[in-house]
A and B are shown apart, each in its own frame.
Chain A
Amino acid sequence: MIRSHLNWAVALGVLCVLSLLIGARALPWSGLWQGSPEAWLTLTASRLPRLLALLVTGAGLAVCGLILQHIVRNRFVEPATTGGLDAAKLGILLALISLPDAGVGVRMFIALSVCLVSSLLFLALVRRLPAQQTVLVPVIGLMYGGVLSAVAEGYAYRHNLLQSMQGWLLGDFSKVVQGSYEVLYLSVPALLLSYLFAQRFTVVGMGEGIATSLGLNYPASVALGLVLVAVTVSATVISVGAIPFVGLVIPNLIALRHGDNLRRSLPWVALGGAVLLLVCDILGRLLIYPFEVPIGLTAGIVGGALFLGLLLWQRR
């Protein structure tokens, strides 16, 4: 157990260093030693923010998927298959159009609210489905997301914002520089709170009946989970854009080995999400160097392949 912790820590460390090293401008390490201001600027204004943003986003999205899967009680849900990402986009758009001068805080708040309302609606929708329809849930989620997305696009079209909105469709870390991404750190407290309340979310995942007979305040715990998810998702979409599959693949992979007891599996899920996103980002930066493939695309491809593999492997 300790050995495997160590292996993962080493892997994460190597990936972090790689991520710091790669970039359109070569980072002169000797310059760092000699205290060259230019080298330090590259490191602190671009590379480090990008690395931190990747770690926080990966961990945050994976944990969001994990919590949603427990709340909806379905292994196939994540922010992308419950309309969460689309709702956040719609929220940002609403904020941009109705309050164009508002700061990022207001934008965040509106995106968060839209995200929360949409997830409550989705939950109400899903609870009307027969319990055995596990595959129907993500299908309905995708359709629901499609509707939200269509509303957003129609709205953007009328206000001539369609092009800039396409930017958020695809997550991209190349724009992450000091001063542009800090709202992302809101997902750090959300992550910590998720861990603090991990036991509650596991009990939520046992179903309303068992949860209630264990004395859990079920509605309050579900609401708390949805708020934490909404915070992370909207902070992510605002600062780096929509990234699919991380929240879907990682919790399922980790559950195979570490089970569904969140107290035990949540740190692994967070770590796994961070590693997956780092790998996707490094790939995206190397494939057409010195240009970049947006991470929304690489994560979609890598995550999609992993997910297919997982489905086929489980079928065996």
Chain B
Amino acid sequence: MISVHDLHKHYGQRTVLDGISLSFPERRLTSLIGPNGAGKSTLLLMIGRLLEASAGEVRLAGQPIQRIASNAYARRVATLRQATELNLRLRVEELVEFGRFPYCGGRLHADDHRAVDQAIAFLGLDSLRQRYVDELSGGQRQMALLGMTIAQETDYLLLDEPLNNLDMRHAVQIMRALRRLCDERGCTVLLVVHDINFAASYSDHIVALKAGRVHCAGSVAEVVTETRLRALYELDFAISYSARGPLCNYFNPPRDLS
């Protein structure tokens, strides 16, 4: 289980995280939501060891993560950031193969090839296998990067705004893949997501951050309520329920809250 204990992050005078203590349920999909600048990505990147905490610590199964060797950590926790970061000309297959880097350092064995094939099949990327990533659409690139992360075969997956710049179809594709990873493979998935409706539809657990603190955390039913979302985003929400789940409408509030 991943847990964070009194985590702080300061940039000079500015406080981004102000004492966060949380634990993330195992084998569940948890969404981190909140307004811009709430510290969601900062928290996620710290769990992924891509940022140092100013104070406090993150623990994996009770062990402070700084004490785990980076290679060993990469076999337990995979982090996916936005696809724009990648500007190399690699084939999809090659990119996914790099997911095996923590295991084999680049020399793939039979076991690694199996993991690569499985990741590609899992996301239905077979037709793109030999294509260059820099020639794909944004959505396909994001899928290819997710393929690399899946090939890493970690128990924990961290994703920083994986739906950014994606059209609806690709966004749904990615969220469904994450849901399946959780249900079929027993992965624990943590993601930062801006679209409250995606968070409400696909999550088991939601953590809402505001101004560097935990605003509220709990199951979807507990967090996705009109009063809580209104306080979180300072917007007027109307939530309707149907067989497909809750739907939050905040697009044309009848009055100005500010």
Interface residues of A in 246-273 (CB under 8 A from B): 255, 259-261, 263-264
* B106 & A200 in contact (Cβ 8 Å cutoff): yes
**Given A205-B88, A209-B50, A259-B94, residue A217 in contact with residue B81 (CB < 8 A):** no
Task: Give chain A residues whose Cβ lies under 8 Å from the Cβ of B87.
Answer: 73
Within the complex, the shortest CB–CB distance from A102 to chain B, in Å, comes to: 39
* A199 & B106 in contact (Cβ 8 Å cutoff): yes
* A212 & B106 in contact (Cβ 8 Å cutoff): no
Task: Give chain B residues whose Cβ lies under 8 Å from the Cβ of A26.
Answer: none
CB of A198 within 8 Å of the partner chain: yes
Task: Give chain B residues whose Cβ lies under 8 Å from the Cβ of A200.
Answer: 105-106
Task: Give chain A residues whose Cβ lies under 8 Å from the Cβ of B27.
Answer: none
A212 CA to B91 CA in the complex, in Å?
21
* B88 & A206 in contact (Cβ 8 Å cutoff): yes
CB of A216 within 8 Å of the partner chain: yes
Q: Tell which of A70, A207, A215, A261 touches B85, judged by Cβ atoms closer than 8 Å.
A: A207
Task: Give chain B residues whose Cβ lies under 8 Å from the Cβ of A264.
Answer: 94
Task: Give chain B residues whose Cβ lies under 8 Å from the Cβ of A199.
Answer: 98, 101, 105-107
Q: Please give me the residue from chain B that is nearest to A265 by CB atom.
A: B89
A105 CA to B80 CA in the complex, in Å?
46
Per-residue 0/1 for B66-83: is the Cβ within 8 Å of any A Cβ (1 yes, 0 no)? 000011111101111100
A115 CA to B45 CA in the complex, in Å?
34
Task: Give chain B residues whose Cβ lies under 8 Å from the Cβ of A261.
Answer: 88, 90-91, 94
A263 CA to B105 CA in the complex, in Å?
12
CB of A308 within 8 Å of the partner chain: no
CB of A34 within 8 Å of the partner chain: no
Within the complex, the shortest CB–CB distance from B102 to chain A, in Å, comes to: 4
* A217 & B70 in contact (Cβ 8 Å cutoff): yes
CB of B231 within 8 Å of the partner chain: no
Task: Give chain A residues whose Cβ lies under 8 Å from the Cβ of B91.
Answer: 259, 261
Within the complex, the shortest CB–CB distance from A224 to chain B, in Å, comes to: 14
* B73 & A206 in contact (Cβ 8 Å cutoff): no
Task: Give chain B residues whose Cβ lies under 8 Å from the Cβ of A208.
Answer: 50
A207 CA to B80 CA in the complex, in Å?
12
A216 CA to B152 CA in the complex, in Å?
13
* B101 & A214 in contact (Cβ 8 Å cutoff): yes
Task: Give chain A residues whose Cβ lies under 8 Å from the Cβ of B49.
Answer: 212-213
CB of A280 within 8 Å of the partner chain: no
Task: Give chain B residues whose Cβ lies under 8 Å from the Cβ of A263.
Answer: 106
Within the complex, the shortest CB–CB distance from A265 to chain B, in Å, comes to: 9
Give the number of chain A interface residues (Cβ < 8 Å).
25
Q: Please give me the residue from chain B that is nearest to A255 by CB atom.
A: B89
Per-residue 0/1 for A179-209: is the Cβ within 8 Å of any B Cβ (1 yes, 0 no)? 0000000000000000000111011011111
Within the complex, the shortest CB–CB distance from B83 to chain A, in Å, comes to: 10
Within the complex, the shortest CB–CB distance from A36 to chain B, in Å, comes to: 50
Give the number of chain B interface residues (Cβ < 8 Å).
31
Q: Please give me the residue from chain B that is nearest to A261 by CB atom.
A: B94
A213 CA to B74 CA in the complex, in Å?
6
Within the complex, the shortest CB–CB distance from A287 to chain B, in Å, comes to: 36
Within the complex, the shortest CB–CB distance from B25 to chain A, in Å, comes to: 22
* B85 & A209 in contact (Cβ 8 Å cutoff): yes
**Given A209-B79, A213-B50, A214-B98, residue A259 in contact with residue B74 (CB < 8 A):** no
* B79 & A213 in contact (Cβ 8 Å cutoff): yes
Q: Tell which of A198, A215, A255 touches B75, judged by Cβ atoms closer than 8 Å.
A: A215
Within the complex, the shortest CB–CB distance from B141 to chain A, in Å, comes to: 13
Task: Give chain A residues whose Cβ lies under 8 Å from the Cβ of B34.
Answer: none
Q: Please give me the residue from chain B that is nearest to A263 by CB atom.
A: B106
Between B73, B81, B98, B105, the greatest number of chain A beta carbons within 10 A of the residue's beta carbon is seen for: B98
CB of B86 within 8 Å of the partner chain: yes
Within the complex, the shortest CB–CB distance from B71 to chain A, in Å, comes to: 4
Within the complex, the shortest CB–CB distance from A160 to chain B, in Å, comes to: 47
A314 CA to B55 CA in the complex, in Å?
48
Within the complex, the shortest CB–CB distance from B136 to chain A, in Å, comes to: 13
CB of A24 within 8 Å of the partner chain: no
CB of B250 within 8 Å of the partner chain: no
Within the complex, the shortest CB–CB distance from B130 to chain A, in Å, comes to: 11
* A215 & B88 in contact (Cβ 8 Å cutoff): no
CB of A210 within 8 Å of the partner chain: yes
A224 CA to B199 CA in the complex, in Å?
43
A206 CA to B105 CA in the complex, in Å?
15
* A215 & B94 in contact (Cβ 8 Å cutoff): no
A209 CA to B48 CA in the complex, in Å?
9
Q: Please give me the residue from chain B that is nearest to A207 by CB atom.
A: B85
* B50 & A212 in contact (Cβ 8 Å cutoff): yes
A214 CA to B100 CA in the complex, in Å?
8
Q: Tell which of A70, A73, A207, A213 touches B78, judged by Cβ atoms closer than 8 Å.
A: A213
Within the complex, the shortest CB–CB distance from B72 to chain A, in Å, comes to: 8
CB-based closest 4 A-B pairs: A215-B74, A199-B106, A213-B79, A215-B102
18 cross-chain CB contacts under 8 A: A198-B106, A199-B98, A199-B107, A202-B88, A202-B90, A203-B101, A206-B85, A206-B88, A209-B50, A213-B79, A213-B81, A214-B152, A215-B74, A215-B102, A217-B70, A259-B89, A259-B132, A263-B106
Given A200-B105, A213-B50, A260-B89, list of 13 further CB < 8 A pairs? A198-B106, A199-B105, A203-B98, A206-B98, A209-B85, A213-B49, A213-B78, A214-B74, A214-B102, A215-B75, A216-B70, A259-B89, A259-B132
